[in-house]
Amino acid sequence: MADQKKQGDSKGAKQEFVQHLTPRSVDFAQWYTDVITLTDLVDYAPVRGCMVVKPYGCALWERIKEELDSRFRATGHQNVMMPMLIPESLLLKEAEHVEGFAPEVAWVTQGGKDTLQERLAIRPTSEAIFCAMYSKWVQSWRDLPLLYNQWCSVMRWEKSTRPFLRTSEFWWQEGHTLHETPEEAQDETLRMLEIYRQVAEDALAMPVITGRKSESEKFAGAVATYSIEAMMQDGKALQAGTSHNFGTNFTGAFDINFLSREGVLKHPYGTSWGASTRLIGAIIMTHGDERGLKLPPQVAPIQIVVLPIAQHKEGVLEGAKAVADALANAGLRVKLDDRDTVSAGFKFNDWELKGVPIRVEVGPRDLAAGQLVAARRDTYEKITLPIEGAPEKLRALLADIQRGMYETALAFRAAHMKTVASLDELGEAAQNGFAKAMWCGDEACEDAVKAKTGAGTRNMPFDQTPVADTCVCCGKPAKHVMYFAKAY
């Protein structure tokens, strides 16, 4: 936890804490912890490994949800609400799946005063319950595709946790779909991956690599898993969304059948795909800086904070309020900070720490001149604007900040991505970024690379133009272009 030191204030009564953030360069992990707690995104729950998402974090999640949900709806998906408990017998139906998740399940064994006949799992993910329902709901090809999603929290009994990145309980969405043909299931898998890419890049200003996971890294029960992988500022990769093609693995195990157009009873083809509150961690570690959070305007709960300067002077508060109202009426997400218990300097620091994209200052001289001062969080640049027409100018400025943040993150990634031809090179590159290399496809080489360099396979990008002929590890003929990195 960071220090808080009270500084002298010439005006005496006002509070002027400077929130001390551990510098990113000194200790990135501690910087992250300082940021999430000092900005009131999250707190530690009184339950092991669980988090409490505070209003600012919750508002950010609601914005991310809306970006995802609107795209899910536009592609024909509907939301449902499934029970949080799964009978053990259901969870056991798909063999790989249960093996993958059983070690981290929280079990309900008592209901009221009674001991249950069968243990109930708090869902670690909901394939089992969706499939149990689908086996009732699907009869004919006319029932397909079935395109359902749910927003909920899930529970995985993790040993080592960090808020947003890995917690026992986390919030997410999980889509579960069924299709007539393997081609449609594959199309769906990639369509949803593309939506994750769009939300990551367009809304979160976070460049990602889209590609397929290795066999050893795929989801328990999937035929193929695809992911989006982002690069954090400490040189570690972060898996920010996954989309799985299940083939008939689950529909077979759960005995889901449909009468095809040809009158044949068949198993439909399944997919699932999920993205979680982990995206908040990704935003923090992609964009944050020495002064704290830096939120992409598109998902920032507050896009513009309006600060009255010398607010005790006549007309200042009213003038600042009029500016804030005009911005809010134009559909921008605005907050007027009219606290009189803290100094202007405290407010500057506070809103920079919280990552609000634009700070607008309105003082007596500004009002007299019919203008305001806008300060960008990303570049610290200050611009003077006429109050008249300010909403349109500031909207354009937000778009410019969004673009600028994406470009900065893209440049960072470009500087932290190397094509490598040897294990030594891979090890060096993966100290601080992605290593792009050829791989033979054998798990033995994945393990060897991991053991020697600490870097695991992230994904195989869709552009498989070879960068060499032989595997970076064993020297045998290479099959895949693979990104390696240390990862969250």
Pick the closer one to a second copy by CB: 160 or 465: 160
Pick the closer one to a second copy by CB: 11 or 314: 11
Report helix, strand or coil for 83: coil
Q: Applying CB under 8 A, does 122 fall inside the site for a second copy?
A: yes
Pick the closer one to a second copy by CB: 50 or 92: 50
Q: Which stretch binds a second copy (CB under 8 A): 109-117, 317-325, 326-334, 422-430?
A: 109-117
Angle ∠(327,333,337) on CA atoms, nearest 5? 80
Q: Which stretch binds a second copy (CB under 8 A): 91-99, 146-154, 196-204, 366-374?
A: 146-154
Q: Applying CB under 8 A, does 136 fall inside the site for a second copy?
A: yes
Give the dihedral sign, CA 320/325/328/329. Answer: negative
Nearest to 346 by CA among 11, 26, 22, 2: 11
CA–CA separation, 189 and 170 (whole Å) = 23
Pick the closer one to a second copy by CB: 129 or 485: 129
Q: Applying CB under 8 A, does 148 fall inside the site for a second copy?
A: yes
Site for a second copy in 43-82 (CB under 8 A): 43, 45-47, 50-55, 57-59, 61-62, 78-82
Q: Which residues have CB under 8 Å from 106's CB, separation 6+?
A: 121, 122, 155, 157, 168
> Could you tell me the maximum CA-CA distance found in the chain, to the nearest angstrom?
84
Q: Considering just the CA atoms, what is the radius of gyration of the chain in Å?
A: 25
Report helix, strand or coil for 312: coil
Shortest distance (Å) from residue 324 CB to a second copy:
16
CB of 175 within 8 A of CB of 193? no
Pick the closer one to a second copy by CB: 82 or 437: 82
Q: Applying CB under 8 A, does 346 fall inside the site for a second copy?
A: no
**Cα 166 from chain centre:** 12
Nearest to 359 by CA among 339, 383, 343, 340: 383
Q: Applying CB under 8 A, does 111 fall inside the site for a second copy?
A: yes
Angle ∠(403,41,345) on CA atoms, nearest 5? 75
Shortest distance (Å) from residue 343 CB to a second copy:
15
Residue 74 CB-half CA count within 13 A:
9
Q: Which stretch binds a second copy (CB under 8 A): 105-113, 225-233, 324-332, 410-418?
A: 105-113
Q: Which stretch binds a second copy (CB under 8 A): 106-114, 225-233, 238-246, 309-317?
A: 106-114
CA–CA separation, 279 and 230 (whole Å) = 10
Q: Applying CB under 8 A, does 209 fall inside the site for a second copy?
A: no
Q: Applying CB under 8 A, does 153 fall inside the site for a second copy?
A: yes
Pick the closer one to a second copy by CB: 124 or 363: 124
Shortest distance (Å) from residue 330 CB to a second copy:
19
For strand 334-336 and strand 304-308, is the pairing parallel, antiparallel, or unpaired? Answer: parallel
Question: Which chain residues interact with a second copy by CB under 8 A?
Answer: 43, 45-47, 50-55, 57-59, 61-62, 78-87, 90, 102-113, 119-120, 122, 129, 132-133, 136-137, 142, 148, 152-153, 155, 157, 169, 171, 341
